[in-house]
């Protein structure tokens, strides 16, 4: 009998405990219903996160670099 597996990678932010205007980007990896979160070592302003696109808003070189990092993890 063939077994099927599910796999997904989503990105989310966690606000800093000391400064709520800063957030850290995490990758949530889900395999067969079990999920784990790992930091991708990127820090952004909380207001710059687009949750629907799972990317940072903006066009600066820094933003492009972070979004490329997200895509490479994806």
For residue 1, pLDDT over 80 is answered with no
pLDDT at position 47 is: 95
pLDDT for 18-68, tens place per residue?
999 999 999 999 999 899 999 999 999 999 999 999 999 999 999 999 999
Residue 4 has pLDDT above 90, yes or no: no
With cut-offs at 50, 70 and 90, classify the pLDDT of residue 17.
very high
**Are 37 and 27 within 8 A, CB to CB?**
yes
pTM for this one?
A: 0.86
Eight-class DSSP state of 3: P
Torsion of CA 36, 33, 4, 51, to 10 degrees: -70
Q: State the sign of the Cα–Cα–Cα–Cα dihedral 21, 26, 30, 34.
A: negative
Cα diameter, the chain: 52
């Amino acid at each position: 009998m063939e077994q099927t597996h599910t796999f997904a990678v989503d990105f989310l932010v966690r606000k800093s405990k000391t400064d709520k205007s800063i957030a850290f980007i995490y990758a949530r990896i889900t395999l067969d219903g079990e999920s784990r979160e790992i930091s991708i070592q990127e820090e952004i302003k909380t207001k710059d996160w687009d949750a629907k696109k799972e990317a940072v808003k903006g066009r600066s070189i820094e933003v492009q670099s972070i979004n490329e990092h997200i895509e490479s993890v994806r």
